[in-house]
Structure 1
Amino acid sequence: MVDYSRQQGVGVWFWKHGKDLRTPEAREEFFKMLHDLGVTGAKIDFFDHEAKEVIDLYEALLQKAAEYQILVDFHGANKPTGRQRTWPNELVHEAIRGMESSALKERARHETILPFTRLLAGPGDYTAMLFNDRRRDTTVAHQIASTAVFAAPLLTIAANPQTVLSKPAVDLIKSVPSVWDETMVLPNSAIGELAAYARRKGDTWFLAVMCGPQQKTIRVPLSFLGEGQYNGLFVRDSPTEDVKVEVEKSIHKRGDSHSVELRPGGGFLGRFSKSQKFFICV
């Protein structure tokens, strides 16, 4: 399976219960096995509290994983504390009330609070973008926008892959990076009401907006764009149904502004790609 996945450009991750890695011998055996098999990373789960022995365990796990060149996702864990500066193989902590929380009803408010609270500490494994009933009071466009707002080096998507592939916005979804070169929180943002972000990867900008419980219409100046023209690809709320989206293309430049109409719990995601210039030599 690992060999086949590598041929497809996919790295395999293994899940492991944290209680099974409490001893040096267990950690050595586990991470050596992953390395020998060619596995990319380990999702280690159920830490559950912040006693000293658990905090020490994070450090021991990261050190041994680094020795064997294994990436790590800490699930069921406390919030990140900057340890990834020492151990860059630590990609993400869960430490968030994410899509696993089936009892959560008011997701629109919840998901417009997190970017300005929990996510200030570091990436969270929210398992973003779900299109079934668990999205609660948010629209499908809101869920798509969450992939750019809830940024994480390991961005885990909750939706069934076939469901994603069947969406009219699939090309835009597939192009969302997991790491960014620049991030701007836009002035329209308000905790629990609206999260509006402009993020850049290379020469490409993304505009991501997640709306809280009340519908809104905002106008966003595109002053973050560079010089020249940009090709825009947008997914926005359908005006009639939460489960539908509209996809459109347009041309923009830095002096423009863009109007975004948002349903209650709505969303918007736009990609601005630099227009290519072609020269013909005769």
Structure 2
Amino acid sequence: MKNTRRLLVLALILSVFSSGSFAQKQFALKSPDGKLNADILVGNTIEYSVSHAGDLMLSKSPLSMKLEGGLAFGVNSKLSGSTTKSVNQTIDVTIYKRKKIEDNYNELTLKFKDGFDVIFRAYNDGVAYRFVSNLKKPFKVESEQAVFNFPADQKAYIPYVQIVREPLEKQFYNSFENTYEHISLSQWDTKRLAFSPLIVEGVNGKKVGIAESDLINYPGMFLYNGNTSNSLTGIFAPYPKEIKQGGHNMLQGEVQSAESYIAKYDGATSFPWRIVIVSEKDSELADSDMVYKLATPSKIADASWVKPGKVAWDWWNDWNLYNVDFKAGINNETYKYYIDFASKYGIEYVILDEGWAVNLQADLYQVIPEIDLKGLVDYANKKNVSLILWAGYYAFNKDIEGICKHYSEMGIKGFKVDFMDRDDQPMVDFHYKAAEIAAKYHMLLDYHGSYKPTGLQRTFPNVINFEGVHGLEQMKWSLETVDQVTYDVTFPFIRMIAGPVDYTQGAMRNATRGNYRPVNSEAMSQGTRCRQLAEYIIFESPLNMLCDSPSNYMNEQECTEFIASVPTVWDNTISLNGEISKYITIARQKGDVWYVGSLTNWDTRTLNLDLSFLGEGNYKADIFKDGVNANKVARDYVKETIAIPTDRQLKISMAEGGGYVMKIYK
């Protein structure tokens, strides 16, 4: 054991040299497998670079924090010492894409006399660093320097803020939803911010992912390239000075003016991790654990009460029911019908989306007269179904404790909180505090209208899902020029690095490329029916919506039964193949059953799948595949049972915008 420790510590090579009048120290931190190397230089500034198997992935990039009053972390700072350690452990997880996570890294902590530390970690799949303040007095952070310098003018997948507003500061108020632009760094639109995660192409097919984790009580990181160079810079929303109620149905907090700083503290604190993920193959990005691993462990001692599952959802299908003897809408009869549907198919939850509370009041205690919430809870309980309520941010934030207490006592199981649309320090703090209070009352939270996840789902497992994705709701209003199919095979490699997505799939109206059009009240998807089924496997989503009408689902018995049967959390996940914006295949295990899903872009595609992970034994699979006419009629599909070949090699085909699904069992 002692020899092992010595070998691990030897991976941290430290050398010292002088440069000019200021002594510089250089540190080299290697990943456990030795492929990834972070070179860290401490002098007048702190800089680091990242290479992988000899390939330079990130050039020298500075990092620092400027505090109010002239103090700076990382500028002319005096190094007092350093420590190293190596960790190889397993994290046990309950609500995730696998039960166990390998947490193996080498760590270097740089200690400075100026009252702060910088911690670097090297994993086999990436490098991360964070600042830690040891100051015991109140202080304010004026700015943070988070720079990512790339060795060449490389192409990137850029998720710009959707609406262009000037000046740039107005773009901090946004929904964190957009498709990607695949352009060179030098082609960056200098009038636009982007949000993370973001992917930059490197040499030899490698990719670099920029992300963050453990975002607690600090603004989230946007990315910007103001001079169309090879460099990306972190940009942070300032601390709000004046906030006014407004926005959608008076449910948002709109920043009217801002302070000159981005964050304030009463004393010592740890800042978020800045992450540089390096992948040799695109498929590795679709199965990254970096954000989860770096987050603060669970604050809930016993989270066994947190129940993931499926949700019958009303809003996307516009409460459209047919062949019923009542007027469908936001009323008791409609929700009893949704509850009956959920009960029939073993769906755990029904959500009451916007409309159950009196409009324009921002008051969640005012329920419209057409809804008897207690009566619906009692009715749902008899059917073994639970209810979740939609809540606008401003209304929820007015009395989080009282609202959670009141509705938990009524029997409501959680809230879908919407329209935050900011990630400044107070808004990030709201996410944390709401999670903490909701956990006290055993309430789930689905953060819709929110920034991307940054590990809060590990810290508070009752935060069961996040939006921050250009989801299927966009198909209610997006023009035909919006390419959702290509987005579907792009964001699993990028946005899902951060964590789960509230994408809300499950459309039973499916359109080919030429047939799609936006219809708000009877929306459709782009791509085939099998694509919608495969998305329940591909997209990580512990609280997973069935977006379409119960009436439509009951006309599609085979597909509905399959959707209802797919788990939402998993024992294991394997990313089998994929190329960003082209195709992806993911296998996920629950118990003795494996589910495999594939998606393609608008190209018809044949893939050879290696199913050797199944091991010994004879296996069969129930499959859903695109029908022979799916290129013309997107809902065309075939369901059949096949034997898995003994050599575990299987050829599959997908139509344009298609998908393929397997449920494999012995």
Q: What TM-score do the two structures reach when normalised by structure 1?
A: 0.91
Aligned to 2:499: 122
Contact 2:626 2:658 in 1 (8 A): yes
Contact 2:602 2:656 in 1 (8 A): yes
Aligned to 2:439: 66
**SS state at 1:162 partner:** helix
Aligned residues: 271
**SS state at 2:546 partner:** coil
Match 1:184 to one of 555, 571, 574: 574
- Deviation per residue, 1:16-50 (Å, 9 max, x gap): 11101334xx1121001121111111111110111
Distance 1:11 1:120 in 2: 30
Within 5 A, what are the aligned runs for 1:31-42? 31-42=404-415
1:155 aligns with 2:544: yes
Give the letter for the 1:265 counterpart: G
Within 5 A, what are the aligned runs for 1:3-152? 3-23=378-398, 26-101=399-474, 102-103=477-478, 105-132=482-509, 133=516, 134-152=523-541
Match 1:233 to one of 617, 622, 634: 622
Deviation at 1:74, TM superposition (A): 0.6
Match 1:175 to one of 536, 540, 565: 565
Change (3 A) 1:117 1:254: farther
Distance 1:62 1:165 in 2: 35
1:243 aligns with 2:635: yes
Aligned to 2:377: 2
Distance 1:110 1:170 in 2: 24
Deviation at 1:7, TM superposition (A): 2.3
Distance 2:390 2:526 in 1: 31
Deviation at 1:89, TM superposition (A): 0.5
Give the letter for the 2:379 counterpart: Y
In proportion to residue count, which structure has more helix? 1
Deviation at 1:3, TM superposition (A): 1.9
Give the letter for the 1:239 counterpart: V
Pick which of 129-138 and 56-65 moved more: 129-138
- Deviation per residue, 1:175-196 (Å, 9 max, x gap): 2111111111113x11110011
- Deviation per residue, 1:73-126 (Å, 9 max, x gap): 011000001012211110011111101113163121010001101011000100
Distance 1:246 1:57 in 2: 47
Deviation at 1:254, TM superposition (A): 5.5
Distance 2:383 2:395 in 1: 31
Distance 1:164 1:221 in 2: 33
Distance 2:641 2:391 in 1: 44
Deviation at 1:174, TM superposition (A): 2.2
In proportion to residue count, which structure has more strand? 2
Give the letter for the 1:2 counterpart: V
**SS state at 2:473 partner:** coil
Distance 1:9 1:209 in 2: 33
Distance 1:148 1:11 in 2: 23
Match 2:650 to one of 258, 269, 278: 258
Aligned to 1:216: 605
Change (3 A) 1:170 1:20: closer
Deviation at 1:253, TM superposition (A): 5.5
**RCO higher in structure (CA 8 A, sep ≥6):** 1
Change (3 A) 1:28 1:210: same
- Deviation per residue, 1:242-276 (Å, 9 max, x gap): 211100012226633222111111100110022xx
Unaligned runs of 5+ in 1: 275-282
Deviation at 1:135, TM superposition (A): 4.8
Change (3 A) 1:7 1:229: farther
Aligned to 1:278: none
**SS state at 1:88 partner:** coil
Distance 1:227 1:2 in 2: 47
Deviation at 1:136, TM superposition (A): 4.8
Contact 1:225 1:253 in 2 (8 A): no
Give the letter for the 1:16 counterpart: A
**SS state at 1:272 partner:** strand
Aligned to 1:277: none
Aligned to 1:280: none
Contact 1:137 1:213 in 2 (8 A): no
Distance 2:600 2:554 in 1: 24
Distance 1:254 1:148 in 2: 24
Contact 2:624 2:661 in 1 (8 A): yes
Pick which of 128-137 and 44-53 moved more: 128-137
Distance 2:555 2:645 in 1: 31
Pick which of 177-186 and 225-234 moved more: 225-234
Change (3 A) 1:42 1:121: same
**SS state at 1:39 partner:** coil
Contact 2:644 2:650 in 1 (8 A): no
Deviation at 1:225, TM superposition (A): 1.1
Aligned to 2:592: 203
Give the letter for the 2:497 counterpart: L
- Deviation per residue, 1:152-187 (Å, 9 max, x gap): 110112122332333233332222111111111113
**SS state at 2:446 partner:** strand
Contact 1:225 1:254 in 2 (8 A): no
Contact 2:593 2:665 in 1 (8 A): yes
**SS state at 2:472 partner:** coil
Q: Which has the larger radius of gyration?
A: 2
